[in-house]
Chains A and B, each alone.
Chain A
Amino acid sequence: MQVPLLPRIAKGDSTAIDECIDRYGGLVWSLARRLSPTVADAEDAVQEIFVDVWKNAERFREEVAGEASFVAMLARRRLIDRLRKFRRELDTQAIDEAALEYAAPPQAQPVELAEDTARAAACLDRLRGDERQVLELSIYHGLSQTRISERTGLPLGTVKTHARRGLSQLRDCMQASSLLRPKVVAAI
């Protein structure tokens, strides 16, 4: 298990910066590339996310969340906020969703993942196919509800229901395994 870096950054230890960028740069870059309309936009987003990481480092609590999950949470908040502004324009454009191809998310080996992440991966496999598909299109590919509806042929209300039910089931599955720490983000 890796020693967390954010407590050192919270104390102003600048020697932890390079390690932190090395450790989480790829994760943040991967999220930004997936959830940004252009590479240039992803580059801007990554810089904003890391500023959020430096500024919120003191809020990280090792006992309630994995460090990678903490960074991913900050990244997603920033990326969704940026993506929502872009979607307003995108959703007015006619796109033949059915003609687009969306690759499945990579299947990481459980041994490579932190405990909570490995449990999330295992719980994902227990979801119904249509619920998992909605979560893949929204979480992994960053599609709006409208686009998912067009893509899958599901009514918009069903897309919302699948997203909510899928996440509820994942949360319950992870909590049941006592691997989700429920107070994880109360302090963020």
Chain B
Amino acid sequence: MSNETTADFNRWEELQVGRLLFGLSPNEQAEYDELALKMPTDKTNLFDSVVASIDVAWSGRPEPLPEHLQRSIQIQAEQVLASKPSNLAGVPSHEGKSVIGFRNYAPWLVAAASLALSVFIWNSNRPQENVTPSVAQLRAELITSTRDVVQADWSAGTTPIAGATGDVIWSSERQQGFMRFQGLPVNQPTIEQYQLWIFDKHQSDKTPVDGGVFDVRSNGEVIVPINEKLRIQEAVMFAVTIEKPGGVVVSSRDRLPLLAQVK
């Protein structure tokens, strides 16, 4: 369709800019949707690539993703990809398929088209669900789907923090785990960060495995995915230390507020 007027097109440009730079109000979004129907396809995204190129140019040398976030994204990616039909196995073979005339399959085609339209309308009208599983959901999924999950409650370490409680779960089979805290103080990441250490039955107590650096950003319950740096064969104890930003390779264990012993 290309029956847009100059006024329509000017307004369309304004809305495109607004959508990319500032976001649209509900009224503007309705206007946008209406005008979109009139616009030819080459006018549908006038400035997206321009703004994207600027975004990339202005990103400079970006700092890397925090490790716990990276781990969380990896887990979600595996779930999303697992839910998609895989194309790796190749396309289905059509050899040997029986041939039927249009007269035979036309009713099926109409029924399929009606069904597709119904699904489309239903999808268009229903509220958008947040498909990103929360860390709490991922934790629950690990507990329910894995047999070898061990769980240990946090107890006071050598430099306890009053009121800090919670637990840790770990699956050696999945090499995945989560820490849960209540009452662990919010830290200033530019000053200090928490770091998890995992004691493996098959390794010396002097060299626990780095379980990742993490921050506590709220006073309520906090769930943190474990980001182990090495494979854990059999976790027997977990310890949380407070370290300089970015963590350390070997902890002095001067500040060790929490311990969790697997029983």
Contacts and interface: CB of A to CB of B under 8 A. Distances in A.
Q: Do A and B bind each other?
A: yes
Interface of A: 9-14, 17-18, 21, 25-31, 39-40, 43, 46-48, 50-51, 54-55, 65-66, 68-70, 72-73, 75-76, 80-81, 83-84, 87, 105-108, 113-114, 116-121, 124, 135, 138-140, 144-145, 160, 163-164, 167-168, 170-171, 174, 180-186, 188
A163 B17 contact: yes
Given A17-B77, A120-B53, A43 B69 contact: yes
Interface residues of B, number: 56
B52 A10 contact: no
B174 interface: no
B217 A50 contact: no
6 closest A-B pairs by CB: A84-B23, A106-B60, A26-B62, A120-B53, A30-B62, A12-B86
Contacts of B217: 39-40
Given A124-B57, A160-B14, A168-B13, A186 B73 contact: no
Q: Chain A at the B interface: mostly helix, strand, loop or mixed?
A: helix
A73 B81 contact: no
Interface of B: 13-14, 17-24, 41-42, 44-66, 69-70, 72-74, 76-78, 80-81, 84-88, 130-132, 189, 217-218
Contacts of B57: 105, 108, 113, 117-118, 120-121, 124
Contacts, number: 200
Given A21-B70, A171-B47, A145 B65 contact: no
The residue in B14, B19, B44, B56 that gathers the most chain A C-beta atoms within 10 A of its C-beta is B56
Contacts of B64: 25-26, 29
Contacts of B45: 184-186, 188
A31 B189 CA distance: 19
Contact of B23 (A9, A31, A83, A121): A83
Given A17-B74, A51-B80, A27 B51 contact: no
B93 to A, nearest CB: 18
